[in-house]
Structure 1
Amino acid sequence: MRYYVLDRGDQLSIDLSEQFHKLAKERGLQLDAESPEIVVSIGGDGTMLHAFHTFIDRIPELAFVGVHTGHLGFYADWQADELPALVDYMSGNGDHHPHKPKIVKYPLLELEIHRKSGTSSHIALNEATLKGVDGTVVLQIDINDETFEMFRGDGICISTPSGSTAYNKSLGGAMIHPSIEALQISEIASINNRVFRTMGSPLVLPKHHHCDIFSCREQKLMLTLDHINHPIDDLISMRCQVSEKKISFARYRPFPFWSRVRSAFLV
């Protein structure tokens, strides 16, 4: 089994990373930074996002495991004191019978950005947000190549099902089970009065639909993909759709999505 570890950088996470390497070496796991089969994230959901973007070019070829060192995260199955058990599962040693983990796949968001300076493609695990830098943004939103609304406000958030519990939730969006291949469009402080109107509620688009966001004037924008900021002052349009790629998580024991939701928000 080839593995790699990324940690959050705080002392606890660094100590756990060193402990993991020691246990892994004892059990015959192979450290491989170039082509790991399993990437272990030690920290929080932000660490998992960092791990995802670090290995974004190899997403179809590997799976992720999360170990949380603070509050329970949606992408973390394991607690800090459970590292020996996790390594046993990964190596098939100890009291755990050798078996392959259950691979759970979550949908991703694909963006195609058209700028005056060129075109680029990106993938996000949680969400993409488009906000104004100097104030109100004016954006035309098309769904399936037909104009849907003219948006004025602070910005737009496009989230994946797994990302629906993050920024999207704080915007009043719905939490969507990751088995549903969809994207969600949520408004950020829209302007609604007798002159300007928007839908005013989140929209959920299935996999075979897409939306295009057009910049309707020269405006400085900030595009944020998960935790990565991209200043843009020459945006033409941005196409959003469910990616053909999916992220894989290695589950060595059950931890259903709704149990994660309950643990995070209700318990």
Structure 2
Amino acid sequence: MLERRNIYFFYKEDPLLKEKVDEIIEIMSKYQFSVVNEPTDADIIVSFGNDGSFLQAVRKTGFREDCLYAGIGVHAKNFYCDFHVEDIPGMIAAMLMEKIEVRRYPTIKVTIDNSLEFYCLNEVSIRSAIIKTLEMSVFIDDLYFETFRGDGLIVSTPTGSTAYNKSLNGAVVDPMLECVQVSELASINNNTYRTLGSPFLLSGKRALTLKVTQDGNDYPIIGMDNEAVSIRNVHEVKVELTDKKIKTVKLKNNSFWHKVQRNFL
């Protein structure tokens, strides 16, 4: 950690937050850390805010694999925020005394109509954009699995399993498992349409393909983590777990399951 010295701060323009960031910059300069103005020049990228801010920091800086991401919570510690804005001395002490470790979070690649590619750290969601159900044929690798009709589907990573997926009664998945989880959003199950009706896990070696039925509801809302993508006439969405890993700060005695316990129990 000590060889990483160039830091880029990602945060919303807010006078009170800017004041705190300036204070942190001054403190870090005393420990030979350099604050850079461009994320491409950084080997540490720090977000201020909450988990949403962290996700935006990763997305806006291009899902870099050659740097370390760290989250600083403004109101509370979250899943991606190991530090709190009022405990900067503790963060610096941890960095200098090598009390932190590096965890690697998997990402998923989303390919739309074999042309557009996006990466996600938490999940990709495909939802109806109008007051009409969305129909999709679901393929696992080359196997036709089911035809879904309802409000949409969520495909999440293990770390994303505690987010949107959990609100749909999906399972909380240990990040050490290389897999994705598929959860339904208000599916229709009757004599015409039949789905599995429960979340399911797919090995990271499998590919999930969703073929959107062209019935007038063929430009769904596609959410990449906490950002929506506007694309019309979507025919096919392919989702795969990738080898691209996002490296983040991990404090000792603050594992994924420590965070689950702290946030939900």
Query: Is TM > 0.5 for Structure 1 vs Structure 2?
Result: yes
Q: Within 2, Cα distance between the matches of 1:113 and 1:228? A: 16
In structure 1, C-alpha distance between the alignment counterparts of 2:171 and 2:52, rounded to whole Å? 21
Aligned with 1:60: secondary structure? Answer: coil
Give aligned pairs, total. 256
1:27 aligns to what?
Answer: 31
How far is the alpha carbon of 1:40 from its aligned partner? 1.1
Q: Which of 145, 148, 152 matches 1:148?
A: 145
Q: Aligned to 1:156, what secondary structure does the other structure show?
A: strand
Alpha-carbon shift at residue 170 of structure 1 (Å): 0.4
Task: For residue 232 of structure 1, report the CA deviation from its aligned partner.
Answer: 2.3
The answer to whether the 8 A contact 1:107-1:182 is kept is no
CA offsets per residue over residues 134-193 of structure 1, 9 Å max, x none? 121010000011110101000010111111000000011101111111111101110111
Distance 1:123 1:236, change over 3 A: same
Match of 2:56 in 1: 50
Query: Contact 2:77/2:83 (CA < 8 Å) preserved in 1?
Result: no
Give CA-to-partner distance per residue, 1:100-156, whole Å, 9 cap, x none. 8421101111111117xxx11110011110111112101000001111010100001
Matched-pair contact (CA < 8 Å) for 1:130–1:222 = yes
Q: Does residue 1:136 correspond to 2:133, yes or no?
A: yes
Give the deviation of 1:252 after TM superposition: 4.3
Instruction: Indicate the residue corresponding to 1:246 in structure 2.
Output: 245
Where structure 2 has 5 or more consecutive residues not aligned to the other structure, the ranges are none
In 2, Cα distance between the equivalents of 1:101 and 1:256? 11
2-structure distance, mates of 1:145, 1:16: 52
Contact 1:126 1:162 in 2 (8 A): yes
2-structure distance, mates of 1:193, 1:174: 25
Contact 2:76–2:84 under 8 Å retained in 1: no
Structure 2 letter corresponding to 1:133 = A
Q: Residue 225 of structure 2 aligns with which residue?
A: 226
Displacement after TM superposition at 1:222 (Å): 0.8
CA deviation string 1:53-76 (max 9, x = no partner): 12225x210111111112331001
- Partner residue in 1 for 2:120: 124
- Residue in structure 1 matched with residue 234 of structure 2 by the alignment: 235
Equivalent residue letter for 2:150: G
Task: Identify which of 81, 85, 89 aligns with 1:84.
Answer: 89
**1:192 equivalenced with 2:189 (yes/no):** yes
Name the Cα RMSD after superposition.
1.6
Residue number in structure 2 paired with 1:255: 254
Q: Residue 87 of structure 1: SS of its match in structure 2? A: helix
State the alpha-carbon separation in 2 of the partners of residues 11 and 200 from structure 1: 48
1:11 Cα deviation after fit: 4.7
Contact 2:49–2:73 (CA<8 Å) still a contact in 1? yes
How do residues 146-225 of structure 1 correspond to structure 2 at under 5 angstroms?
Answer: 146-217=143-214, 218=216, 219-225=218-224
Cα distance in 1 for partners of 2:42, 2:100 equals: 15
Partner SS, residue 135 of structure 2: strand
Q: SS in structure 1 opposite 2:196? A: coil
Distance, in Å, in 1 between the alignment partners of 2:15 and 2:55 is 19
Counterpart CA distance in 1 for 2:263 and 2:17 is 21
Deviation at 1:12, TM superposition (A): 4.5
Q: For structure 1, list consecutive stretches of 5 or more residues without a partner in the other structure.
A: none
Kindly state the Cα deviation for residue 88 of structure 1 after the two structures are TM-superposed.
3.4
Give the CA deviation at 1:15. 2.9
CA shift, 1:207, in A, is 1.1
Cα offset for 1:19? 1.7
Q: Is the deviation greater in 28-37 or in 183-192?
A: 28-37
3-state DSSP of counterpart to 2:174: coil
Please give the alpha-carbon distance, in whole angstroms, between the structure 2 residues aligned to 1:9 and 1:45: 17
For 1:209 and 1:223, the matched residues in 2 are separated by: 21
Calculate percent identity across the aligned residue pairs. 29
User: What is the rounded CA distance, in whole Å, between the counterparts of 1:4 and 1:18 in structure 2?
Assistant: 12
